[in-house]
Amino acid sequence: MIVLGIETSCDECSCAVVENGNKILSNVIATQIELHRPYDGVVPEIASRLHTEWIEQVCDAAINQAGITKKDLDAIAVTNRPGLLGSLLVGVNFAKGLAYSLNIPIIGIDHIRAHLYASQIEHELEYPYLGVLLSGGHTVICKVLSYDNVEVLGTTIDDAIGEAFDKVAKHYGLGYPGGVMIDRLAQKGDSKAFLFSGPKLDPKEHKYDLSYSGLKTAVINQLDLFSTGIEATPENISASFQRVAVGMLIKKVERALKDTGLKRISAGGGVAANSLVRSSLSALRDKGYEVTFPSLKLCTDNGAMVAGLGYRYLSDGIKSDFELSATSRVSAFRKN
Ligand code: KG4
Ligand code: ZN
């Protein structure tokens, strides 16, 4: 079964062709980074306008690179939740038009589940596993029981981890996209230069929850209070912030692993591309856990994860109808 996956939930306009859920024939990602850079963040109106201008070309490129024609498509999977509403609608409406004209089924895909599925494309992971979803809009620690069955254990109670990276970077003018710049700068910095503290969450009420807003504010406003006489270079700020941001995540992941007895972990989402996240989670292999990540291109937003997950639903006879619409928020994955 050949599935076209369409992803336009934020600022990546992506179409991919995937065969049988795991053979990526093409994965075209047209990034809008340069066009949002002057604003140090994604401007929703610009994002949706660019998706409208690009989607047809991106789809044609994906079909051509896959070496097929549109008539070879068996189905279309499209991200329809959560994300920027205007951007989601461009993908959904394009997908509906194309599916209708080709007389093939369409399936609406949850972006968070697609990130959690991304690892499955390259590694056949046995369920259940601990899913760690780290993106610009979400931070979720969950039990992944199947491609469709996710039991949320904890989420951020305020900012998402990627949002904290991006806001710290924006405040200090470290460059855009913020997460990538902090990751790069941190490699040359002293992670103990500034001893930012993590949140003090009630361990009973927020057993597996996280919080990034306090850390972000501490890094932005209180830097001088913590100054150890070490220079506040972008490298030192980045390394110190990243150490605490990732450290608190790993603590919660370890607690969830211990309590659930799960032996496998898989991360996903843009921040799963972070080098400290990858090395810290990988270190859990020494404690006997099986740890997998999607390759870097499958961590950030892409159509292949959407097509891959779409294939699973379609194989089980689950599809959407042409009433399919877009939803900006999915409450199951957030507390705030
Ligand atoms: O999953 P994603 O592409 O889009 C959303 O669903 O939000 O994640 C985007 C987030 C942004 O906050 C970006 O700064 C962050 O992922 N990101 C990183 C890295 N690469 C992307 N954060 C830290 N280190 C990275 N290497
Ligand atoms: Zn995403």
d(CA 326, CA 84): 9
Q: Which of 14, 110, 180 to mutate to test the pocket of ligand 1 (most atoms within 8 A of CB)?
A: 180
Q: What tokens appear for 67 in the block?
A: 């070496």
Residuewise pLDDT in 10s, the chain (336 residues): 999 999 999 999 999 999 999 999 999 999 999 999 999 889 999 999 999 999 999 999 999 999 999 999 999 999 999 999 999 999 999 999 999 999 999 999 999 999 999 999 999 899 999 999 999 999 999 999 999 999 999 999 999 999 999 999 999 999 889 999 999 999 999 999 888 888 889 988 999 999 999 999 999 986 655 666 778 899 999 999 999 999 999 999 999 999 999 999 999 999 999 999 999 999 999 999 999 999 999 999 999 999 999 999 999 999 999 999 999 988 777 765
3-state secondary structure of 143: strand
> How far, in Å, CA of 43 to CA of 203, rounded?
37
Is the distance from CB of 10 to CB of 284 less than 8 angstroms?
no
CB atoms within 10 A of CB 190: 16
**Distance, CA of 51 to CA of 59 (rounded, Å):** 11
Q: Is the peptide bond before 128 cis (omega within 30 degrees of 0)?
A: yes
Q: Are β-strands 2-7 and 75-81 bridged in parallel, bridged antiparallel, or unpaired?
A: parallel
Ligand 1 mean position to 269 CA, how many Å?
Answer: 7
Strand partners, 280: none
Do the Cβ atoms of 164 and 210 come closer than 8 Å?
no
Contacts within 8 Å (CB) and 24+ apart, 314-321: 314/1, 314/3, 314/74, 314/75, 314/77, 314/105, 314/107, 315/1, 315/21, 318/107, 319/75, 319/105, 319/106, 319/107, 320/80, 320/105, 320/106, 320/107, 320/108, 321/106
Two structure tokens written together for 95: 């997908």
Cα of 135 to ligand 1 centre, how many Å?
5
Tokens of 277: 């996240």
Best residue for ligand 1 mutational test, from 300, 301, 328, 330 (most atoms within 8 Å of Cβ): 300
d(CA 245, ligand 2 centre) in Å: 19
